[in-house]
A and B are shown apart, each in its own frame.
Chain A
Amino acid sequence: MTKNHLVKRNTDENGLISARADLSYKNNTDKNARADLSDKNDADKNALHDAEILVNFENVSLTYHDKTGETLAVSGLDFRVNRGELLGIVGPSGCGKTTVLSIISSIIKPSEGRVVIGGEEAKDRRDKCGYMLQRDELFPWLTISQNVLLGAKVKKMKGRKDYAYALLDKYGLGDFKNRYPSQLSGGMRQRVALIRTLATAPELLLLDEPFGALDFQTRLHVVGDVHSIIKNEKKTAVFVTHDISEAISMCDRILILSSRPAKVKKTIDLSPIKELSPIERRESPLFQKYFEDIWKNLQNKKD
């Protein structure tokens, strides 16, 4: 209730971003509004080429098989990612958050539904996506500059060197180009990993708990760094995490997923604190309110 109120107020105050707020508001509607969801889907499909929307994740289901049987991991999951948006996905552990990212990047094929990036339905979307994993996964036998260019090398993209080096310079890693990963701190390594992801100029960044392996102090810094790099470079990103406060401090909008099979349980719009940095957000009085809201939604998952 309060949250819907917040969204509306924001829309009123800022007419310019009303379209985007509207969209999130649409996703915000609860189960009672499920009935007219199909109508909305049609509307969304018409708006497929809408410049505002980068990713259409349409009615995706995934069943996977193993020896013990089959599991419905994702069921009719449906959401949009707007251009330039940092979308967070939180949910109870094992609910299939990582699976969602794998489906977006087409590492896993969904059993039903489809994913459209930039209005284009492609079988393999890996060239459009840049993936950042929990650990930095830097290759210890390659220098920092070689590591950063790994994605471009694998994807056989020419002429990424200048851009990658410019990013290293811009984000304080220029002096470490010829060092090896073992000579860098955990926070620096994670920044290198992000730049490796950015070096192939992906349309969409997929961040899979990229701070999970860092200690708390480092994590606060790196969250700030990554947030400002993504915003500076005007990237669209989907950020998966189990850490509620991390999601609030980074994202523009948060999807709360239910436990398996994953469905969107609720959408939290963070536009009121959107302009704040992660550290500032943690100090904002709204922070606790969002936290409680998400926490409550993650708790009563059983009903």
Chain B
Amino acid sequence: MKKTLNCSAEHKKYLNGIRRKKIAISTMRWGLLIVVIALWELLAQTGAIDSFITSSPSRIWQTFVSLCKDGSLFEHAGVTLYETVVSFLLATVLGTVIAIALWWFDTLRNVLEPHLVVLNALPKIALGPIIIIWVGAGTGAIIVMALMISLIITVLSTLNGFMEVDKGKLTLLDTMNATKLQKLIYLVLPSNVPTIISALKINVGLCWVGTIMGEYLVSRAGLGYLIIYGGQVFKLDLVMTSTVVLCVLAALMYVFVALLEKLVDKKFGKS
């Protein structure tokens, strides 16, 4: 009796320890962010750093508010977000479809695999001028750019997951006389949901890279355009504000995919 009481007290202590550590970590996380911003502002206010070159949190806020007022921020952020989401969805759907085709046709896979690997190694940004000439300098070119960056890695990682499906489970379906389509639907796709989700996670980042690079090249609209324009006319406030907005949007999209992963992991994650 005494022993169990002792035990539970100790266990309480242990649980408290874990909780305290968790609180400490998140305090430090936010603390770091606040300290950096405060220090930045303080140094800019006191003139220790030149806010013309470094901008400052208060100036970023002012720029943000004025951009919001004339609505241009929403316009540019909207364009970038649209391009990113479209290329992200296209990369995911096309990538999965191509991976399925390559899984299905052995010869096709064997023929194309080295080409895909080389294409994957190529810095896709080098294709920028070609894409602009072929597709035209506009939203299309930016989406193609982002697609190029994320598609091939999606195909390769998804295909890799498809090829590594549990051999025992494939044998089981073989003993049941399953067709290739049944193997795909009952085993290969469901067992690769985690693989596809982790490809999504990588794609979120890559599509942002592709979109911003595309906007740098095309220079018509979007946050990437604001950044490159701000840089050219030396308006660091504009550059910093656009970067912060970009940061927040990318984080939100990542959180969304991470949530999706958590949801899916509950069902497909365990093996």
Which 9 A/B pairs are nearest by Cβ-Cβ distance? Answer: A131-B175, A126-B177, A154-B176, A137-B172, A182-B270, A154-B178, A141-B268, A151-B176, A140-B271
- A30 within 8 A of partner (CB): no
Count B-side interface residues using an 8 Å CB cutoff: 21
Taking A126-B177, A133-B175 as known contacts, 18 extra A-B pairs with beta carbons closer than 8 A to each other, sorted by chain A number, are: A124-B177, A126-B176, A131-B176, A133-B168, A133-B172, A137-B166, A139-B187, A139-B191, A140-B268, A140-B270, A140-B271, A141-B193, A141-B267, A150-B176, A150-B186, A153-B186, A155-B177, A182-B271
Residues of B within 8 A of A124 (CB): 177
Closest to A105 in B: B175
Task: Name which of B175, B187, B190 has the most chain A CB atoms within 10 A of its CB.
Answer: B175
What is the interface of chain B, defined by CB distance below 8 A to chain A?
Answer: 166, 168-169, 171-178, 182, 186-187, 190-191, 193, 267-268, 270-271
Residues of A within 8 A of B176 (CB): 126, 131, 150-151, 154-155, 200
Docked pose: A182 CA to B176 CA in angstroms: 23
Interface string of A123-163 (1 = CB under 8 A from B): 01011010101110101110000000011011100000000
Q: A107-B174, A133-B171, A137-B169 are in contact. Are A154 and B186 (CB under 8 A)?
A: yes
Residues of A within 8 A of B271 (CB): 140, 182
Q: A126-B177, A150-B176 are in contact. Are A141 and B190 (CB under 8 A)?
A: yes
Tell me what chain A mostly uses at the interface: helix, strand, loop, or mixed: loop
Residues of B within 8 A of A141 (CB): 190-191, 193, 267-268
Q: Is the CB of A154 within 8 A of B173?
A: yes
Chain A, 217-265, CB within 8 A of any chain B CB:
none
Residues of A within 8 A of B178 (CB): 154
Closest beta carbon of chain B to A236's beta carbon, Å: 17
Chain A, 163-202, CB within 8 A of any chain B CB:
180, 182, 200
Residues of B within 8 A of A180 (CB): 270
Docked pose: A288 CA to B215 CA in angstroms: 81
